[in-house]
Chains A and B, each alone.
Chain A
């Protein structure tokens, strides 16, 4: 198999991305779907590539806000002596993963009105949950012995954080970002019902006009966008610093007590 700097070629990302690109070429997808609408090509209110960029932009912007909020929050909460804060954060993240997305989105409308704002709020609130819970799992999963060793080598708390904890926690944390981003594509699709635009709007429009071709015009690129992003993030998943194989489908769990002795070799090399 072809390999790219020690990792397999991201065939998934390339394949799904290529399909998505094909769908976005002007006229291709409407032409293909025309037979479903009695020979008349469905017309979205804006070109598909604009809707896709709108969708992607919204999701990425929200993810940026999520990271900006989650990273300091998780680092703050995982420092020693903040058990209750950590517990609350974990519980809130669990709550966020339990409460239906649509409920969060819809309840944001009375507060913020229709448009992009409620979807953005929903994206940030809902996107925080996996990033926070995986961040906590990643940082708490760092082997205490490794931290002890780092302390013994005279590393300060800050050095330990940057050189030991964060590198070791990164794979698990990144898996959370992946989950959050892929869910974000889905949330933004539903957000079209609240006037957020994006690829959900042809779906919503097609459903209300009973035009299946228009529905597919939004649904196909939305599905391909999610698959592309998922494959792209899987391909960029950092390898575990301790050499344990990464697992693609079984969500990463911290394996603190079973951590292997060669774990610190990377971060300690300099």
Chain B
């Protein structure tokens, strides 16, 4: 693939845009869609055909514009939207010839995924080169509009989701509920523990060591280790059994999730509280603040943005672990992933995996937004970020 010489001004963006364009070109030679007679059977591969000309023109334009961020960004956004529309319209067209009650489905093929990846790489390269951060998301509103208007309704994953609509909503809610409850418990436990750890360094070291060791355990192993003790507990205490506590189901999942979330919450809490400027605390003391006032009005607010970073890490982590917890019968989106694995049904896997990924990315973005809003309100400038 032609790769332009190392540019001087654009900080190495041209190769990225060119790489994206190259991926777009390669994708045109691969199958974009797959028309299957039913959910499982292999099917007929559909290539872009005459549309390959349009795609090639787009990729060529991108290649020519590789050094000019603005046109490159526009072309890459167009490629992304075009890919989405191609999936929607292409799958609808492929299904149009089928009888009304057929089980036929249209899945996205390797070519389509590669096209979207190429468009993403080019988009990133162009946006980074021209410092066009705001315009890098310009494709999102039309894309969302297209999806919400049912543009993808003939896509196999969409069909799978429609057939499962009630159950999918339930599992999504269960996923959010497990993550949310565990996060709330971890914050309620971890907050005071972090404060304690800061005041007593020896205790802090011990608490962090234990939380760190728990974090080390493989999620599936921790879930497995909890089955026997929780099962015994529910046998011994009828009140707990009445609450639904048992070795299998949401109970071990909630315990494991809470334990996992403790480390980021406590660690960032300690870093955040210790990071508050000693001069500021001295000033507060000089103003005659009591230790309680000093903590609630000065130390805690100033520590909050960094502490929130810990909550964000915990949220993202928990969304991933909750998916695994479906194995012990806790429910959540992992149910579809494991069902899909058992049935070798790619669409079912995607039905669980795509929402789980989007959920994690969304949670990450929301907490980041909260962090920067809080940082701005506190007038701290750019917040120190603990990763």
What is the interface of chain A, defined by CB distance below 8 A to chain B? 36, 81-88, 91, 95, 97-103, 106-107, 109-110, 133, 182, 185-186, 189-190, 192-194, 199-200, 203-204, 206-207, 210, 212, 215-216, 218-220, 222-223, 226-227, 230, 248-251, 253
Known contacts A82-B11, A84-B125, A98-B316: A250-B219 contact under CB 8 Å: no
Report yes or no: B341 in contact with A190, Cβ–Cβ below 8 A.
Answer: no
Interchain CB contact under 8 A, B323 and A100: yes
Name the residue of chain A whose CB is nearest to the CB of B334.
A102
B221 lies within 8 A of A84 (CB): no
Which residues does chain A contribute within 8 Å of B386, judged by CB atoms?
Answer: 250-251, 253
Candidates B15, B324, B357, B364; contact of A85 at CB < 8 Å = B15
Q: Do A226 and B224 touch (CB < 8 A)?
A: no
**Cβ 8 A contact of A98, one of B217, B340, B361:** B361
Q: Which residues of B contact A212 (CB under 8 A)?
A: 227-228, 231, 247
CA distance A8 to B361 in the complex (A): 40
Q: Do A223 and B222 touch across chains, with their CB atoms under 8 A apart? A: yes
Q: A216 contacts which chain B residues (CB < 8 A)?
A: 224-225, 227-228
Kindly name the residue among A91, A103, A216, A253 whose own CB sees the greatest number of chain B CB atoms within 10 A: A103
B245 to chain A, nearest CB (A): 15
CB-nearest residue of chain A to B313: A97
Which of chain B's residues has its CB closest to A55's CB? Answer: B218
- CB-CB < 8 A to A227: which residues of B? 213, 216-217
Q: How far is the CA of A91 from the CA of B334 in the complex (A)?
A: 25
Q: A102-B323, A215-B227 are in contact. Are A203 and B337 (CB under 8 A)?
A: no
Shortest distance between the CB of A115 and any CB in chain B (Å): 12
Residues of A contacting B341 in the complex (Cβ-Cβ under 8 angstroms): 106, 109, 193-194
For A91, list chain B residues within 8 Å (CB): 124
Contacts of A133 in B (CB 8 A): 387
A200–B223 CA distance with the chains assembled, in angstroms: 12
B328 at the interface (CB under 8 A from A): yes
Tell whether, in the assembled complex, residue B267 and residue A223 are in contact, meaning their CB atoms are under 8 Å apart. Answer: no
Q: Out of A110, A223, A248, A253, which one reaches B218, CB within 8 Å?
A: A223
Listed by A's residue number, 23 A-B pairs whose Cβ atoms lie within 8 Å are A81-B8, A83-B13, A84-B10, A84-B11, A84-B129, A85-B16, A88-B121, A88-B125, A97-B316, A102-B353, A103-B357, A110-B349, A186-B218, A193-B327, A194-B341, A200-B220, A203-B220, A207-B224, A216-B225, A220-B221, A223-B222, A227-B217, A251-B386
Contact count A vs B, C-beta below 8 Å: 164
A190 to B220, CA, bound (A): 6
Which residues of chain B are near A36, meaning CB under 8 Å?
Answer: 228
The 6 closest A-B pairs by CB, nearest first: A219-B224, A100-B320, A83-B11, A186-B218, A103-B353, A84-B13
Q: Which residue of B lies closest to A249 (CB)?
A: B208
Q: CA of A207 to CA of B223 in the docked complex: distance in angstroms? A: 10
Interface secondary structure of A, over-half rule: helix
Question: Given A84-B129, A100-B356, A226-B216, does the pair A106, B267 have CB atoms closer than 8 Å?
Answer: no
A88 contacts B16, C-beta separation under 8 Å: yes
A22 and B221 CA atoms in complex are apart in Å by: 18
Determine whether the beta carbon of A98 is less than 8 Å from that of B364: yes
Contacts of B247 in A (CB 8 A): 212
**Known A182-B216, A230-B216; 12 more pairs at CB < 8 Å:** A83-B11, A83-B128, A97-B316, A100-B356, A103-B354, A106-B349, A110-B349, A186-B217, A212-B228, A212-B247, A250-B270, A251-B386
B221-A203 in contact (CB<8A): yes
Q: Is the CB of B11 within 8 A of A81?
A: yes
Q: B26-53 CB contact bits vs A (8 Å, 1 = yes)? A: 0000000000000000000000000000
Min Cβ gap A2→B in Å is 19
Q: How far is the CB of A99 from chain B (nearest CB, A)?
A: 5
Inter-chain contacts of B213 with A (CB < 8 A) = 227, 230
